[in-house]
Amino acid sequence: MNLPIEISSLDRILVTGFEPFGSYENNPSLDFVEFLKNKGFATAIFPVSFSLIDREIQKLKWDSYKYIFMFGLSAERNELSLERVALNWIESSLKDNSGFLPPCQMIDESKPAAVINKIDLNSWLTEFDKLELPVKISHSAGAFLCNYLYYRVLELNKNCIFIHMPKENDLEKLEKLIRALCFSGKVF
């Protein structure tokens, strides 16, 4: 499934991850971004901090990317989860890396309660099957920083998806998946 791709095309694909957080000394989303860093993809690592994440979001020109794949850890899951919905909501029992426990609140009271990603995620399942990657479509990115980032980015570029990943992942297969999804011409 190796498709011929020019480096100039890859730099229009942004792949993001998060730093380690809480009791997790390792974050597979960070590992994946580091794995892709020297392969031509645009990459970004986000802090697990409500006080820092907006500043990092503002540093990127989101509309300059053709496709955006955002990854985050969901340690209790055993498969990749394609997140359909970003909630306009913050709620957590977990403090961020700055020690801040956010109050339950809307991200932006002037906006809708949720944003539904219109990408035909069902059409992606075949590509996951070809690579034997376990996957499901999930209907909520949660209410912590993964969801916060997803909600904010969907406002800036609709060609994005948030994918929660389990603790263990095949990074080479994930890279092949991103290439296949972007360059097959039928899924984004």
Catalytic residue list: 83, 146, 164
Q: Which residues of 132-165 are buried (b: 16+ CB within 10 A; e: fewer)?
A: ebebeebeebbbbbbbbbbbbbbeebebbbbbbb
Alpha-carbon span 145 to 185, nearest angstrom:
31
Amino acid at 74: S
| Helix, coil or strand: residue 120 | coil
The token duo for 127 is 């590509």
| Helix, coil or strand: residue 168 | coil
